[in-house]
Chain A
């Protein structure tokens, strides 16, 4: 067990860590870069918010429950102040020694910002925030989490306000909210108060209701059919009108998310259901895209020999090729388990990309230039539904593909083969002893996973109309893996949520794109430390329901 040290040392330690984090953020450039970016119009900029959030976390962490109330307040003040002092020391150091040649962000403006104008202010701000944080800890837990949710969502709204205004503008609604709720950048002061209070209230009511339900038997917890049906109708209606409401840019983002949902569902079969960690999954995505390119583009070598195919003719070919590739790549790794499997799949993924890139296969794959002029998808005799200017139409195709994939994945999960996968995941040897054919089961998982990814690749190719080997790097595989894990492994709604959070959100936060992967990495670490089961944990299927 950890030794309990004195509260003084603990809070000084917390303060030092907090100060260190602020300095780190400053040197990375986040604080300086956002020194002008308002979250609440005219009151709070993002850079300041980052600092205050750290002070708050430090004060909150220091004020441990077992201490006396007065001591708790004191620890909060102390920890915040120590963090402030450390930041001040850094500023003094930076003003004395020029570290700019090394750390490009260490500018005089940054120092001024870090010190809150003058050095004493940083300490005071740290101390006050620490005190508030310590006091905040006296509130009941439910209220606390509701308030934090409210504040967090308010901040997200503030960061996305320009996007929201863009969407609202599409529909002529912007003038109703601009001013009192949203500023061009950030929320307005009244908007901040309203948004946080309303969301906090909703979240509070929700958590009270959920707590009430927990006592009831499972059968009673289930919402009645009428409500479910209404919700479904609303959901379908929303989805149908979504592209028109959102406009082209956000439809494009949704399409991107949709393609990742497709791949995520496929990889979820391999990793989540069957427990084989595949990090070369992008290979099948690339294969689908390349087959589409070779068959439909006038540059593709097959198309040159046979005449260009259309999307619908090429789709089944890509599907079959992906499935065969899944099986072919699956056969050699049948006997390999655990970490080695990860490495072999990583090797496969890289080999496919390198081959596509090489001069050797240039006549077939186009080398580094890839394949261009892939025609858009057409509904024969009617109109085209993809291409650079038609993301709103493509949305429906992606939506249909996703719905089919969700349906197939759900059915597979609850089928005999799905249970076999999960048995293999839990223990291969026991599964084999229970009569599960390991070869067949594993190959089916690889083939199914590859099929989803291949289809996603075909749509990707038609959407972009040009494909390069560089679009199929290891980072995509990692991205898909991460979205499954963040969403909740083995869980289908989790995949969708994961794709929205990890693919959709970064697309919307373009303005922050230079820190995208940084935050992404931090989120992965944080998730694994705090919530390794994901946002939507997969519940084991219950065969007998209590109270039923």
Chain B
């Protein structure tokens, strides 16, 4: 087993060294890769938090979380477009984006609430496989519900006029949207961390994830806490949806699948159930994915390495699970799982 790990490591190092020696990219290219990776990683992290929060509390993979994200981003479009048309997006960009975010987060919250209520709550004591299948079913159902609502076409988010172009930060040109995404995601994650650590609701959430029965005995309303967990995860996913739209412009009913899978990978990478872990995992995955193909594969003379970025992400997932199954930061609740 370790032989495989060693071989992979040698391969990666060899590839990287070769790439660096040949140096096909300039310094600015590398910085672009890193910043893009950071922005992408922040999105993964925001979505991953939803997976991790729910996993921590229910020990289940909410496979439909990617669809919660999609619902928010897709619905947000129908607010963003009119706001752009009447000029508010140009004159009051912050207000406009806030309105879009509120709508997106609201939609995501409603979807997640219904999901918990209809699909998961009745199955709380079922064998583990059962809610997982339900989640897969819910994922399909939500995708095609929204395809039916809004159509199967791709919708293009309007540009925010004041966020076009680049900012000069420490002598490096960085796309404005990327900066906004990184800053907004960081703020949201900090808020979440403070919320979970210091508020009463956050403490209740942590208590329920430690031990449901005891938490109930201590006077915590378990059902309500679980709903709140879903709601918070969904709000983050909705916000991620708007940020995703800022970054990538295009939304459609199928958009939740890939980011959902990646976010889930991030959650596992960081150690599922672990909140800082999800953040670290997301950013790590984003960076790895954006820098990895050029760094590791270019040196091997592999054509079009960018096509393999998803393969790199999943390979890393597999390797981490095999060699360090509790993730980078470790699973907070590892003991209870066995």
Contacts and interface: CB of A to CB of B under 8 A. Distances in A.
Interface of A: 24, 27-30, 101-105, 277, 331-333, 335-336, 338-340, 342-344, 346-348, 350-351, 354-355, 357-360, 362, 478, 481-482, 485, 489, 514-515, 517-518, 520-525, 528-529, 532
Contacts of B130: 528, 532
Contact of A525 (B61, B119, B315): B119
B76 to A, nearest CB: 12
A517 B325 CA distance: 34
B201 to A, nearest CB: 24
A359 B314 CA distance: 18
B337 interface: yes
Given A102-B150, A340-B321, A343-B317, A358 B304 contact: yes
Contact of A339 (B61, B308, B314): B61
A342 B61 contact: yes
Contacts of A332: 1, 4, 318, 322
B144 A333 contact: no
Contacts of B131: 528
Interface stretch (B135-143, B166-174, B207-215): B135-143
A347 B314 contact: yes
A101 to B, nearest CB: 7
A529 B134 contact: yes
The residue among A103, A277, A333, A358 with the most chain B CB atoms within 10 A of its own CB is: A358
Interface in B92-151: 118-119, 122-123, 126-134, 136-145, 148-151
Given A355-B308, A524-B140, 13 more contacts: A28-B144, A30-B148, A103-B149, A103-B150, A332-B1, A339-B61, A340-B268, A351-B318, A360-B307, A482-B137, A515-B144, A518-B141, A529-B122
A357 B321 contact: no
Contact of B139 (A103, A339, A360, A521): A521
A49 B256 CA distance: 33
Contacts of A514: 148
Given A104-B150, A344-B318, A358 B307 contact: yes
25 contacts: A27-B148, A30-B148, A102-B150, A105-B149, A335-B322, A336-B322, A339-B61, A339-B132, A340-B321, A342-B61, A343-B264, A346-B261, A350-B314, A351-B314, A360-B302, A482-B136, A485-B133, A515-B144, A518-B140, A524-B136, A525-B118, A525-B138, A528-B123, A532-B126, A532-B130
A93 B265 CA distance: 43
B140 A354 contact: no
Nearest to B82: A101
Interface string B253-279: 000000001001100100010000000
Nearest to A349: B314
B84 interface: no
B165 interface: no
A481 B131 CA distance: 14
B107 to A, nearest CB: 12
Given A354-B311, A360-B308, A529-B122, A524 B143 contact: no
Contacts of B143: 517, 521
Contacts of B150: 102-104
Interface of B: 1, 4, 61, 78, 118-119, 122-123, 126-134, 136-145, 148-151, 261, 264-265, 268, 272, 302-305, 307-308, 310-311, 314-315, 317-318, 321-322, 325, 337
Contacts of A342: 61, 132
Nearest to A24: B145
The residue among B122, B272, B317 with the most chain A CB atoms within 10 A of its own CB is: B317
B315 A347 contact: yes
B303 A360 contact: yes
B308 A520 contact: no
The residue among A104, A354, A355 with the most chain B CB atoms within 10 A of its own CB is: A354
Nearest to B153: A104
A354 B310 contact: yes
Contacts of B142: 521
Nearest to B144: A518
Contacts of B322: 332-333, 335-336, 344
A355 B312 CA distance: 10
Contacts of A357: 307
Contacts of A277: 129, 132
Nearest to A526: B137
Contacts of B140: 517-518, 520-521, 524
B138 A358 contact: no
Contacts of B149: 27-28, 102-105
Contacts of A522: 137, 141
Contact of A344 (B132, B139, B311, B321): B321
Contacts of A343: 264-265, 268, 317, 321
Given A28-B145, A354-B314, A101 B78 contact: yes
A514 B303 CA distance: 38
A358 B310 CA distance: 11
Contacts of A485: 129, 133
B64 to A, nearest CB: 9
Nearest to B300: A360
Contact of B325 (A340, A489, A528): A340
A485 B132 CA distance: 11
A522 B317 CA distance: 30
B144 A358 contact: no
A524 B133 contact: yes
A521 B133 CA distance: 10
Given A340-B321, A344-B321, A521-B138, A350 B310 contact: yes
B144 A521 contact: yes
B148 A105 contact: yes
Contacts of A335: 322, 325
Contacts of B61: 339, 342
